[in-house]
């Protein structure tokens, strides 16, 4: 049936809507993803909780849905906007079409929308609320729940993966499966714990390092956790990714701000200030650490975004803490930054050596 995309700024776009709920509008924060591939990973990335995602590439779903590229057990997006998506799929690993997968999980989607025009509205007006419905006239944008997205996606119990020689604790703010898999590949035993796990509980697990994961929402919603997170970072070598990176900035006295329309895609260029090398990264975030708010005696900017100069990563001047705004596991996206895991593991081995010879 004919459906409509209503933006908070008053713009309306027509398309073909498929939704199980034909009485109320589907609402969420509208964002766009620029990658040509990777829709399966995007749909199941917990960082997209409560968001309606526009795929800017004109044909989505041509290689279907397989059994391997899920980042979590279910999709987290509120809705999907595409220009075109076919039922027929062209990949030997495909088990379902994209439409069949969205229908299975009752995720509403709308096709034949002028996605370029919608994205231009977001670029001009910034990220905003969005409504998808069968009604041409719509002023309802719903009670979009922004207050506790991390609580909704974080694990509720402590789980372990792998059997390697390095004990790593991942604080789960919405961790992607591929981050855990990357650590397992580095000979780690990975213990994933709920987002609000205390310092004392983590200490009893006796890890050789911790990872603060990616996740959805505004990092300032987690301010109550900062004292415990800071204790963890001061006690164990730390790698922080995306939301975790923002929490590092906050924990050491910095501030975060919201970008106009965020970075989402697999083509974001990042400069490593230490080496003067530029590499291409996969990203998905709305918030960034404010460079001017940082205590230069504690944290130093390690990475910056080539396009807009925003902070893409931090290093502590004394402690083995490394944070990155991008996704080194690169699912989806280029693997240019996968060496970040190697640097993290090197910091763990260095700390172990210092303790051995202290």
CATH of the domain at 215: 3.40.50.880
Same domain membership, residue 48 and residue 92: yes
Structurally, the chain folds into a number of domains equal to 2
Under the banding of pLDDT at 50, 70 and 90, the label for residue 140 is low
Q: Among all residues, which ones are annotated catalytic?
A: 242, 327, 329
Same domain membership, residue 49 and residue 181: no
Same domain membership, residue 320 and residue 272: yes
The whole-number pLDDT of residue 195 equals: 98
Same domain membership, residue 206 and residue 162: yes
Q: Is 257 part of any domain?
A: yes
Same domain membership, residue 74 and residue 163: no
Q: Is 84 part of any domain?
A: yes
Does residue 281 surpass a pLDDT of 70?
yes
Residue 13 host element (H or E): strand 12-18
Domain boundary among 71, 102, 133: 133
Average pLDDT over residues 334-345: 94
Q: Is 330 part of any domain?
A: yes
Does residue 111 surpass a pLDDT of 90?
yes
Same domain membership, residue 206 and residue 128: no
The number of C-alpha atoms within 13 Å of 237 and in the hemisphere containing its C-beta is 22
Q: Provide the residue count of the chain.
A: 358
The whole-number pLDDT of residue 305 equals: 98
Distance CA 289, CA 323 (A): 11
Q: Is 244 part of any domain?
A: yes
Mean pLDDT (the chain, rounded): 93
Same domain membership, residue 248 and residue 117: no
Average pLDDT over residues 110-114: 97
Does residue 193 surpass a pLDDT of 80?
yes
Please name the residues in contact with 79: beta carbons below 8 A apart, sequence gap of 6 or more: 26, 28, 52, 53, 107, 108, 109, 110, 130, 132
The sheet carrying 299-305 orders its strands as 159-161, 188-194, 166-172, 209-212, 238-241, 321-324, 311-316, 299-305, 256-272, 277-289
Which of 49-58, 128-137, 216-225, 244-253 is predicted least confidently? 128-137
Does residue 23 surpass a pLDDT of 60?
no
Sign of dihedral through CA atoms 252, 194, 43, 5?
Answer: negative
Please report, for the domain that includes residue 53, its CATH number: 3.50.30.20
Under the banding of pLDDT at 50, 70 and 90, the label for residue 201 is very high
Helix axes 243-251, 226-235, angle to 10 degrees: 90
Strand stretches in 135-200, DSSP E: 159-161, 166-172, 188-194
Same domain membership, residue 123 and residue 42: yes
Task: List the domain range (segments joined by +) for residue 167.
Answer: 149-357
Average pLDDT over residues 195-200: 98
Q: Is 140 part of any domain?
A: no
Q: Is 123 part of any domain?
A: yes
Distance CA 349, CA 284 (A): 30
């Amino acid at each position: 049936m004919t459906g409509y995309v209503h933006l908070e700024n008053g713009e309306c776009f027509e398309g073909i809507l498929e939704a199980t709920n034909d009485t109320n509008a589907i609402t969420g924060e509208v964002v766009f993803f620029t990658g040509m591939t990777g829709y399966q990973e995007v749909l199941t990335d917990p960082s997209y909780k409560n968001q309606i995602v526009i795929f800017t590439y004109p044909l989505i779903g041509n290689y279907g849905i397989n059994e391997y590229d899920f980042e979590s057990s279910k999709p987290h997006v509120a809705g999907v906007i595409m220009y075109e998506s076919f039922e027929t799929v062209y990949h030997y690993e495909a088990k379902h079409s994209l439409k069949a997968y969205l229908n299975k999980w009752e995720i509403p989607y709308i096709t034949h929308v002028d996605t370029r025009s919608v994205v231009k509205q977001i670029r001009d007006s910034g990220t905003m609320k969005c409504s998808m419905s069968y009604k041409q006239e719509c002023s309802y944008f719903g009670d979009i729940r922004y207050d506790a997205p991390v609580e909704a996606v974080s694990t509720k119990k402590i789980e372990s993966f792998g059997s390697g020689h390095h004990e790593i604790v991942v604080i789960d703010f919405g961790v992607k499966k591929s981050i855990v898999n990357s650590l397992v590949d580095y000979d780690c035993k990975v213990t994933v714990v709920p987002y609000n796990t205390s310092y004392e509980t983590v200490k009893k697990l006796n890890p050789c390092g911790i990872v603060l994961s990616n996740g959805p929402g505004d990092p300032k919603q987690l301010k109550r956790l900062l004292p415990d997170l800071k204790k963890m970072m001061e006690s164990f070598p730390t790698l922080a990714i995306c939301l975790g990176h923002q929490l590092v900035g906050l924990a050491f006295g910095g501030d975060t701000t919201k970008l106009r329309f965020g970075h989402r895609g697999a083509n974001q260029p990042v400069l490593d200030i230490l080496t003067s090398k530029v590499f291409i990264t996969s990203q998905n975030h709305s918030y960034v650490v404010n460079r001017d708010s940082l205590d230069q005696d504690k944290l130093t900017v390690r990475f910056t975004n080539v396009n807009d100069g925003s902070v893409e990563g931090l290093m502590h001047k004394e402690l083995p803490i490394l944070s990155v705004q991008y996704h080194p596991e690169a699912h989806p996206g280029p693997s240019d930054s996968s060496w970040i895991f190697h640097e993290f593991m090197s910091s763990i081995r260095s700390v172990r050596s210092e303790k051995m010879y202290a």
